[in-house]
Amino acid sequence: MTETRWRLDYPGNEGVRARLADLAQRDHLHPCLLFEGPPGLGKAAAARWLAAVINCAVEGARAPCQRCWSCKRIAEGNHPDVIEVGLDADKAAAIISVKQARDLISSLGLRPFHARRRFVIIDPADAMNGAAANALLKTFEEPPTDTGFVLVTHQPTALLATVRSRTQRVRFGPVAQPVLRAWLAEQGVADPVRIARLSEGCPRRALELDQGEATARAEARNALVLALTTPLEQMFSFSQSLTRGDRAAWTQRVERCLDALDELNRDALRIVSGHVGEDGLYTADLPELAECWAEALDVDGLRRVAEAVVIARADLDRYVNARLLVDNLMMAVATQLGRGRVALAEVVPAG
């Protein structure tokens, strides 16, 4: 199993990092950076990477040497001057609290222990509630000497405008599939093509997928498709089993099913249009399923299923009753599949 938490060396976004290293070496780095980009990209790792570049024992380094005391401590996550602020473990809600903000401000009153430049990484920065963000505004604007902030988020618009305006935005993008595939192969991932595709070009996400989520997703997809091929009564008992338990648990199960439908649809569209290409299918573990899905639904049917998924996601956000939401979805998809359900039943492995 690959350790994902403290990596410094995710692939991709080399241009962005080179620019940051350059600014750092010329001492022109903005005191409060906002790292934004899709979830699972390794943005917090890029913040640690930047902290390592600046504090590396190799003077003028463009990348962490990964051997000096400072680089090692940062990679291990225990450098005294690289402070990470995450969700408040004492709160039920997923927030960064005003207490954390105040603790941070008082710890910044002390001089850095060792570093040329102390770093504070706030991740996910959008979890700062109003009170926490307001408490930190002045510090973001005028950080203590030798201290820089990196705010990390995949939803920058969720930050207060007053926070955003005090930052310099740095945009990270998904990694190109061939680059990610090669990197995943180096990491010993068994099926780099499929994992790269499923991760949408996000390396940290790809490693997580490799560690189990991909299997869970494929199982959820198969169970869903199988349920769609059964009589109405069994279909509804599937949606009942999907939506049992507490909200967090069933939300994850329902989202997995929605993701699976999206992936099947996108694969089927590429098959229909003859554009599978070298990036491969999302459902590469069971390619005949995507073929069968494409045959059962023509382009029009695929569009309708995609619409049903959009409606279900919106319902999920609006706290619509879970059973109702899944029943509606199943009905809509089964109607589109029509007689194609018979062929699907033969493709999907049972249980």
160 is an interface residue for Zn ion by CB under 5 A = no
Cβ–Cβ contacts within 10 Å for residue 90, how many? Answer: 8
Closest approach, Cβ 98 to Zn ion, in A, equals 36
Query: Minimum CB separation from Zn ion for residue 348, in Å?
Result: 51
Identify which range of 35-43, 66-74, 276-284, 339-347 contacts Zn ion by CB under 5 A: 66-74
Q: Which helix (H) or strand (E) element contains residue 63?
A: none
Supply the angle between the helices 322-337 and 299-317 in degrees, to the nearest 10.
180
Question: Nearer Cβ to Zn ion, position 58 or 345?
Answer: 58
Using CB under 5 A, which of the segments 55-63, 87-95, 122-130, 253-261 binds Zn ion? 55-63
Instruction: Find the part of the chain contacting Zn ion (CB under 5 A) among 6-14, 65-73, 222-230, 323-331.
Output: 65-73
Which of residues 65 and 87 has its CB atom nearest to Zn ion in the complex?
65
Regarding 56 and contact with Zn ion (CB under 5 A), the answer is yes
C-alpha to C-alpha distance for 339 and 337, rounded to whole angstroms:
6
Site mask, Zn ion, residues 108-137, x = CB under 5 A?
Answer: ------------------------------
Looking at beta carbons only, is 72 or 102 nearer to Zn ion?
Answer: 72
Question: What is the DSSP code string of 230-295?
Answer: S-HHHHHHHHHHHT-S-HHHHHHHHHHHHHHHHHHHHHHHHHHTT---TT--TTTTSHHHHHHHHH
Q: Tell whether residue 101 is a contact of Zn ion (CB under 5 A).
A: no
Cβ closest to Zn ion, residue 75 vs residue 104: 75
Cβ proximity to Zn ion: between 65 and 276 the closer is 65
Residue 151 — φ and ψ, nearest 5°?
Answer: -95, 130
- Tell me the backbone φ, ψ of residue 96, rounded to 5 degrees: -100, 120
Nearer to Zn ion, 65 or 131 (CB): 65
Burial 34-57 (b: 16+ CB within 10 A, else e): bbbbeebbbbbbbbbbbbbbbbbe
CB of 74 to Zn ion, least distance (A): 9
Tokens for 220, please give them: 């959820």
Q: Site for Zn ion (CB under 5 A): how many residues?
A: 4
63 binds Zn ion (CB under 5 A): no
d(CA 193, CA 211): 15
CB of residue 114 to Zn ion, shortest distance in Å: 13
Residue type at 265 in one-letter notation: N
Q: Is residue 93 classed exposed, middle or buried when 0-12, 13-18 and 19+ CB atoms within 10 A define those classes?
A: exposed
One of 16, 23, 63, 68 touching Zn ion (CB under 5 A) = 68
User: Which residue's CB is nearer to Zn ion, number 63 or number 331?
Assistant: 63
Q: Exposed, middle or buried, 151 (CB in 10 Å: 0-12/13-18/19+)?
A: buried
Say whether residue 8 binds Zn ion (CB under 5 A): no
Radius of gyration from C-alpha coordinates of the chain: 23
* Residue 65 in contact with Zn ion, rule: CB under 5 A: yes
Name the residues that contact Zn ion, by CB under 5 A.
56, 65, 68, 71
